[in-house]
Chains A and B, each alone.
Chain A
């Protein structure tokens, strides 16, 4: 995976140090700003792939910062990190110009997955392809047709959207909550392993009768679709 430049704007130094270290460990470049104004300056100058912004910051709060960046045509994807995790807080955050929202406390694997997916979004139009291909698997977004090794696979509409989202982020970890958000449009944690059951059904359809598995479970994080044969 290619390395990303990540800007962390967070006033809690312990939390920030932990994030910087954790992102560096997985091979990314991470900078840190301890307040809103410093963060704003850094975000404007540096070409970052993603900015992680805490909502409550000294000198300039997170939402104002995002608003100011957007007003300056800085289109760096922003993930809002906040202790306010309720539904309307999230709506407010996204309305202010954030691209994703994660409530504290969070699992680093969740944050990493979301940041990597956000960064990928940057070149606009890339995700507008009408056909996703991965190894011998092909998904046509217009005709809703899925073909593997020349054989058509019949999927339920929801399974199709699941696969579509996974293939859109092929090679990236996608977490259960991300799937719930994008495929079902809900943001809560389901009590049981409902997402796992959906994924295993999808896996049964696309992988079971073939030699190389494409849909992988990433332990402690989520799922990833990738061509392991390569």
Chain B
């Protein structure tokens, strides 16, 4: 039982017990990590950093800028290609982890948070496509509205409401996705990178 008298002390003690600095920021990795299939998690994170950086720039300047200026076109393209790479890296990461059964060794929460991050990314990507403010976004929004109405969520999420979609895309969903990703990375660090099946002796 903890001897700490305040909740801050108890939280600190519990955090230090569960998250050791050596686990959170390791300097070396097991030999089996020296394989290309292990780089796609961090490649996904790198694409996410580019996404957030270019997204912040787009948020500051707005649609009139990204549709009309050269630098706006460039930053808009960086944001688009970061999304493409983000999903490509994430899907290859998912395939790799699925085929090495990465939920082994009490890593189920890591696997589940990865799945949640994937679904949150799809919703975030979708809201991004409908706030482009061009004919493409109009087409996607009008087609998606029928789909959302058909499954009964049209009353809560109206894809023709650009204001709602923008707020979801630039505030709520990045917070949700960012939180899940941080949780996922902390779990990876805490449990360690999953070993190959033959290495684990299973």
A complexed with B: no
